C-alpha cells in the first residue's frame, strides 16, 4: 500500500495503477462504516484493479471553525484500517497542497443543497463538490463509493457528475449502524457518555414516523410531529433540522405520495449527528 501526500504524486500513481480505479473519499477517522466502503471498493476493483482512499479533512466544507478544529485525525489508525481492508493507494494531502492561497474557483450546487444540511451549513456542499471534483480529476477514478448516510451529499455529488459530465460512476453504500441503531459517524467518539446512550433515539424516532406511515398516515405534518416528539423527549438532544423531502429533488413535500426521505440533524452539545430514513407510500 502506497501512502502519498503530494497531489501530483498521487495523480502519477493513480494514472499508472491497475484499472478500474475505485476511489473512496473520506475525511479520515475511519470507522466500520468507512471500512465497509473500502471493502465494497475492493470488491468492485477486483484483483487487478486499484482501490484508492483519500483522507482529507476538507477545510472549505466546514462552516464552523470549532467543528473543523475538533475533527479527529487519527492518521496511523486510519492507515492500519486502509491496509486491512485492501486499499492500494492512500492520498493524505495537506490543505495547503490542495488549495492555493488565492484560489478563486468553486463548484456550486443551487437546488439540492438548499435545505436540510445546506440550510444550516452555508457553503458546505459547495466545499464538498469542489473537493470531490478535484479528487475525481486527480485520481481519474472509474468509480467512487460514498456512504448513503450522507444522503444529501450523495444526491448533490450525483447531480454534479450529471451536470458537469464527469466520467465517473457513483456508488452508494447503505448506512452502517452500531448495535443500538446509531448511525456510525466519526463524530460519535466526541459524544459524552450520557449523550452517546441517548443518541439511538434519533433512529427510533425516525422509525416511529415510518411506522405511522405504514399505518396509513400520509400528511408530512403528522409524520414530522411524531419524529420530533421522539427526539425532543430527550433531555440533551437539540434538533438542528427535521424535514420530510422528496427522495429525488430533496424539496419539502406536504404528503408522502412518492418515495420521500425523513431527515434530521441533532446536536448533542457541540456534536452534530445526522440520520435519515426512506419513506415509501
Which residues are known to be catalytic? 34
Q: How far is the CB of 164 from a second copy (least distance, A)?
A: 6
138/206 with CB nearer a second copy: 138
Q: How far is the CB of 166 from a second copy (least distance, A)?
A: 6
The residue whose grid cell reads 469542489 is: 130
Residues 6+ apart with CB under 8 A from 186: 27, 28, 29, 30, 31, 71, 72
Q: Residue 91 has which C-alpha cell?
A: 492520498
DSSP state of 249: T
Give binding residues as ranges. Answer: 27-34, 61, 147-150, 153, 176, 184-187
Binding residue count for a second copy, defined by CB under 8 A: 31
80/111 with CB nearer a second copy: 111
168/227 with CB nearer a second copy: 168
If one counts every other C-beta atom within 10 angstroms of the C-beta of residue 143, the result is 16
In a 3-state reduction of DSSP, which class is residue 104?
A: coil
In the region spanning residues 101 to 130, those forming contacts with a second copy, defined by CB under 8 A, are: 102-112, 129-130
Q: How far is the CB of 236 from a second copy (least distance, A)?
A: 36
The residue whose grid cell reads 473512496 is: 24
108/120 with CB nearer a second copy: 108
DSSP string, 122-187: TTHHHHHHHHHHHHHHHHT-SEEEEETTSHHHHHHHHHHHHHHT---EEEEEPPPB-TTSPBP-TT
Q: Which of 64, 162, 238, 280 binds a second copy (CB under 8 A)?
A: 162
Give binding residues for beta-alanine as ranges. Answer: 61
In the region spanning residues 246 to 265, those forming contacts with a second copy, defined by CB under 8 A, are: 249
Which one of the spans 136-144, 193-201, 263-271, 273-281 is the region binding a second copy (CB under 8 A)?
136-144
Phi-psi region of 28 (alpha: psi -120 to 50; beta: other; left: phi over 0): left
Given a contact cutoff of 8 angstroms between Cβ atoms, the answer to whether 147 and 37 are in contact is yes
Q: How far is the CB of 272 from a second copy (least distance, A)?
A: 25
11 binds a second copy (CB under 8 A): yes
Q: How far is the CB of 106 from a second copy (least distance, A)?
A: 5
Residues 6+ apart with CB under 8 A from 268: 191, 192, 195, 198, 199, 236, 237, 238
In the region spanning residues 47 to 106, those forming contacts with a second copy, defined by CB under 8 A, are: 99-100, 102-106
Give binding residues for ATP as ranges. Answer: 27-34, 147-150, 176, 184-187
Interacting residues with a second copy (CB under 8 A)? 7, 11, 99-100, 102-112, 129-130, 133-134, 137-138, 140, 159-160, 162-167, 249
Amino acid at each position: 500500500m502506497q501512502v502519498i501526500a503530494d497531489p501530483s504524486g498521487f495523480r502519477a500513481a493513480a494514472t499508472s495503477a491497475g484499472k478500474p480505479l475505485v476511489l473512496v473519499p473520506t475525511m479520515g477517522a475511519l470507522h466500520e462504516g468507512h471500512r465497509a466502503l473500502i471493502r465494497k471498493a475492493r470488491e468492485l476493483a477486483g484483483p487487478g484493479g486499484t482501490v484508492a482512499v483519500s483522507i482529507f479533512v476538507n477545510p472549505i466544507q466546514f462552516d464552523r471553525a470549532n467543528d473543523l478544529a475538533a475533527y479527529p485525525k487519527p492518521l496511523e489508525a486510519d492507515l492500519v484500517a486502509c491496509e486491512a481492508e485492501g486499499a492500494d493507494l492512500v492520498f493524505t494531502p495537506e490543505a495547503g497542497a490542495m488549495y492555493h492561497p488565492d484560489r478563486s474557483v468553486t463548484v456550486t450546487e443551487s437546488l439540492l443543497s438548499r435545505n436540510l444540511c445546506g440550510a444550516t451549513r452555508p457553503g458546505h456542499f459547495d466545499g464538498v463538490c469542489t473537493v470531490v471534483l478535484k479528487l475525481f480529476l486527480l485520481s481519474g477514478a472509474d468509480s467512487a463509493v460514498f456512504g448513503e448516510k450522507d444522503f444529501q451529499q450523495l444526491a448533490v455529488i450525483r447531480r454534479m457528475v450529471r451536470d458537469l459530465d464527469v466520467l465517473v460512476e457513483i456508488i452508494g453504500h447503505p448506512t452502517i449502524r452500531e448495535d443500538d441503531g446509531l448511525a456510525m459517524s466519526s463524530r460519535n467518539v466526541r459524544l459524552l457518555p450520557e449523550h452517546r446512550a441517548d443518541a439511538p433515539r434519533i433512529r427510533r424516532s425516525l422509525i416511529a414516523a415510518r411506522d405511522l406511515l405504514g399505518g396509513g398516515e400520509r400528511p408530512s405534518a403528522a409524520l414530522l410531529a411524531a419524529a420530533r416528539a421522539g427526539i425532543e423527549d430527550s433531555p440533551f438532544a437539540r434538533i438542528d433540522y427535521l424535514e420530510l423531502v422528496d427522495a429525488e429533488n430533496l424539496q419539502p413535500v406536504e404528503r408522502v405520495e412518492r418515495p420521500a426521505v425523513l431527515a434530521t440533524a441533532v446536536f448533542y452539545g457541540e456534536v452534530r449527528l445526522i440520520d435519515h430514513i426512506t419513506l415509501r407510500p
